[in-house]
Amino acid sequence: MLRALCIEYPTDPAVWTIEDQYLFGSDLLVAPLMEAGNKRNVYLPGGKWIDYQSGKVYQPGWNEIEAGQIPAVILVRDGVALPHIALAQSTDKMDWSNIELRLFTADSSVAEGSVCFPSDNRLHHLKIKQQQDKWLLTENPLKGQVTFKITHK
């Protein structure tokens, strides 16, 4: 799940020398603040990336990015739906019946994501499409089992 950029982007020569950024899964890029200050240079491979905290869109290549309230630069790949559930006191108190899907899209009219429940330990793929001014869940293998709230970053 946690991996070096060179694992996901083996043909991009720039990522082979980056030691202070990593991917969490294939859709989240994390660049911790390694020095004093609240911004740093971050290399973004592939397509567009969206700042998790501010919603600002960044192009591939080197970018100077300011961290938000969380003292790290956290970016989401364009076209991703990230599932979120309410905070709980412990993992056995988590409510998996209500999930917020936060969409991170720059130009895309489609977002995709996955959710895995502790009860079945299977990955469920979700697809959300923009239709006029609304986002609709078009692929949902969990019909009736989960209530989804869709928000767009």
Identify the pLDDT of residue 144.
83
Residue 30: per-residue pLDDT: 98
pLDDT of residue 143: 83
Pick from 62, 77, 92: which residue ends a domain?
Answer: 77
The 10s digit of each residue's pLDDT in 59-91 is 999 999 999 999 999 999 999 999 999 999 998
Q: Taking a C-beta distance cutoff of 8 angstroms, is the pair 128, 112 a contact?
A: yes
For residue 6, give the 3-state DSSP assignment: helix
| pLDDT surpassing 80 at residue 153 | no
User: Does 18 score more than 90 pLDDT?
Assistant: yes
Closest C-alpha to 20, from 1, 37, 5: 5
Instruction: Based on the fold, state whether residues 89 and 121 are members of the same structural domain.
Output: yes
Give the residue numbers spanning the domain of 48.
2-77
Work out the pLDDT band at 120, boundaries 50, 70, 90.
Answer: confident
Q: What is the CATH number of the domain that holds 72?
A: 2.60.40.1180
Whole-number pLDDT of residue 78: 97
**Residue 12 above 90 pLDDT?**
yes
Q: What pLDDT is recorded for position 20?
A: 95
pLDDT exceeds 90 at position 119: no
Q: Are residues 22 and 66 in the same domain?
A: yes
- With b for 16 or more beta-carbon neighbours within 10 A and e for fewer, the 18-40 pattern comes to beebbbeeebbbbbeeeeeeeeb
Mean pLDDT of the chain: 94
92 and 71 within one domain: no
